[in-house]
Amino acid sequence: MLADLDDLQSTALAELAAATDAASLEAWRIAYLGSKGRLKAMMPRLKDVSKEEKPAVGKRLNEVKVALESGFEARQAELEGGAAAAGPQVDVTQPGAVLPEGRRHVLSRTIDEIVEIFGRMGFTTAAGPEVEDEWHNFTALNIPAGHPARDPIDNFYMGEQEGSRTLLRTQTSTVQIRTLEATKPPVRIIACGRVYRPDTHDATHYSMFHQVEGLCVDRGITMVDLKTTLFQFARAYFGPEAEVRMRPSFFPFTEPSAEVDMKMRIKGEWQWVEIGGCGMVDPNVLQAVDIDPEEFTGFAFGLGIERIAMRKYGISDIRWLFENDVRFLGQF
């Protein structure tokens, strides 16, 4: 048995030296020092040893146990020290994984800028529903029954509610009415939002787009206030050389009415671009919301947000704004 113990010690220590990582070290521990290990397996043989030999064999058994245990501890310390000495397993100088970064849509950011600029001129924001009734989209805006603007070919009619047809609003002018129904003058608001028209999609048309509506009603409001407001906006948004031009036009809800052009720089050149309509609020509109047109006057305007953004960023096809291709959107 003494020879077997010598054997056990030498093979165990040789194998221990060959263990090079935590897993093989643990396997070695189980094989030799574990409760079903080879050292434990020697114990029962002690009872077959003769009485004279027993003290020597017992002593040797204990020596082997101590040798294996201390050998294990030493090897364990060696391996851990080795790993620490080899330095961290992570190369901290390597560039990290770049996570894709999201951002707000170019139209959302344009709206934020518009809201900010008009905010500086004292305009607060207002909103209304996208599913509207005929009163707010037409009647109160001085667009009477039978007017061609109500033609189903130009509107997304949806159904009927309390005897009135509902439709997706075709203009944010609806918010003029909603605001004046809820608030009495002085009123100074802008409303940015989606409008819908059954247009065939092409580079400049889409069945949904955005407008910014402006409304200012108070005592003594004149066209000078209107032009000044649009002029200040153009300068703030397009730069100090921007200009505004108004061309006589017609809208049912304003009198007089005008088309708004803004002179902006496109690819280094200053050009006139038509961006919406405006005018003095028609007395019929004020009357529809119980405001005395003899006491109050107002101006209104409606501008196309896509037009503003597309011109500013040189986007030549409106469809790109809504296809949600991040390769396109990521440029802005």
Tokens of 309: 């953004």
| 209 touches ligand DAH (CB under 6 A) | no
Beta-carbon contacts of 279 under 8 Å, excluding residues fewer than 6 positions away, are 226, 249, 251, 253, 254, 255, 256, 257, 258, 299, 300, 301
Q: Which is nearer to ligand DAH, 71 or 261 (CB)?
A: 261
Q: Is 123 a residue that touches ligand DAH (CB under 6 A)?
A: no
- For 168, the 3-state DSSP assignment is strand
The single-letter code of the amino acid at 284 is N
One of 302, 306, 307, 308 touching ligand DAH (CB under 6 A): 302
* Cβ nearer to ligand DAH, comparing 193 with 302: 302
Burial 21-56 (b: 16+ CB within 10 A, else e): eeeebeebbeebbeeebebeebeeeeeebeeeeeee
Strands 243-251 and 208-218: unpaired
**Number of chain positions touching ligand DAH (CB under 6 A):** 12
Taking residues 212 to 251 in sequence order and writing x for each that binds ligand DAH by CB under 6 A, - otherwise, the string is: -x-------------------------------------x
> Which structure tokens are listed for 130?
């996208």
Q: Spell out, one character per residue from 278 to 297, where the chain touches ligand DAH: x when CB under 6 A holds, - when not.
A: xx------------------
206 touches ligand DAH by CB under 6 A = no
DSSP, collapsed to helix, strand or coil, labels residue 197 as coil
Site string for ligand DAH, 159-198 (x = CB under 6 A): ------------x-x-------------------------
Name which of 213 and 261 has its Cβ closer to ligand DAH.
213
What residues line the site for ligand DAH (CB under 6 A)?
A: 171, 173, 213, 251, 254, 276-279, 300-302
